[in-house]
Amino acid sequence: MRTRYKPYILLIPVTIVLLGIFLSGISIGLLQSLGYFPAVGLRQMTLKYYKEILADPGFLASLRFSLYTAFISSVLAVIMGVLLAYSILQSKQKKGIEELVYKLPIIVPHTVAVILVYNIFSQSGLLSRFLFHLGFINEPTQFASVLFNRNGFGIIFAYLWKEIPFVAMIVYTVLGNMNDKLSETALNLGASQKQVFWHVQLPLIMPSIVSAFIIIFAFSFGAFEVPFLLGPTYPQALPVKAYIEYTQPDLLNRPYAMAINMVLIFMVIVFIGICHKIFRIFYQYDGSKE
């Protein structure tokens, strides 16, 4: 009898924190976004704020910009990460490199990734100096601006720097733990090295790739620091826009900030749903039954 309730008892502390801080934070945001904000006299529930932001071209530009940077950086990170993991596995001298790939994404935070990108790609950065020596440009202002630009390259580069090793680490671990006998069996049955990758290894690492993709997409879509530091003044990334609305001295702007937040959450959930749907169509094996 006691053991039946034991797991639930053990889960009480974490549930309290999650409900008390995380969920209550989201709920308050949701209520304010719906116009329930008694502190400033707003009590009427309404969808007005959502309607307004959805009709605002600035908001839509932000949404597009956030989706664009997050999607491009995540897709590229997944491709490069898988390539890196596979090439480490295939190559001989990998001591130290494994360690580097494992530790790098963990110990270097996003803010530091920003300065790394800045050092290379700013107008007076290393790349522009290099181009000067090659004779392409004569002064820093001629260097096509990569940072603070609507093309979002700076943001994408910073995310790539963080996320390629992250993906590689996950894929490398799964590939390394994968039973070699599976590949050997496939080779023995007449598959070429390439076929082994596409038909045996890739499907088996696919669940990990998808979850890594979801995590990095959700992160880069919702993160504040990188677009705040490397993004253009227009369009701002959604989290930056939400924060700026939030810090407006006029409290009546709060519901707009909260509505943007709820759109952020909604988009992430929709994105995860789509990923799962697509994944289900192509793969039956989901790795969860191991």
Residues 230-249 that bind other proteins (CB under 8 A): 239, 242-243, 246
Contact range with other proteins by CB under 8 A, out of 26-34, 40-48, 49-57, 200-208: 26-34
110 binds other proteins per the rule CB under 8 A: yes
Compose the 193-222 pattern: x for residues touching other proteins by CB under 8 A, - for all others. Answer: x--------------------xx--xx-xx
| List 77, 84, 156, 205, residue binding other proteins (CB under 8 A) | 84
User: Distance between CA 210 and CA 272 in Å, rounded?
Assistant: 10
Specify the length of the chain in residues: 290
Report the residue from 77, 82, 88, 209 that binds other proteins according to the rule CB under 8 A: 88
From 42-50, 86-94, 173-181, 275-283, give the range in contact with other proteins by CB under 8 A: 86-94
Tokens of 207: 């669940």
> How far apart are alpha carbons 256 and 262 in whole angstroms?
10
Q: Which amino acid is at 79?
A: I
Site for other proteins in 41-80 (CB under 8 A): 80
Cα 10 to the chain's mean position, in Å?
Answer: 31
Is residue 42 classed as helix, strand or coil in its secondary structure? strand
For residues 186 and 195, the answer to whether their CB atoms sit within 8 Å is: yes
Q: Is 272 exposed, middle or buried (0-12, 13-18, 19+ CB in 10 A)?
A: middle
Read off the amino acid at residue 207: P
Applying CB under 8 A, the span of 28-36, 45-53, 55-63, 181-189 interacting with other proteins comes to 28-36
Site track 154-193 with other proteins (rule: CB under 8 A), x = hit = -------x--xx---------------------------x
Q: Which stretch binds other proteins (CB under 8 A): 51-59, 116-124, 198-206, 275-283?
A: 116-124
* Residue whose tokens read 């995310």: 159
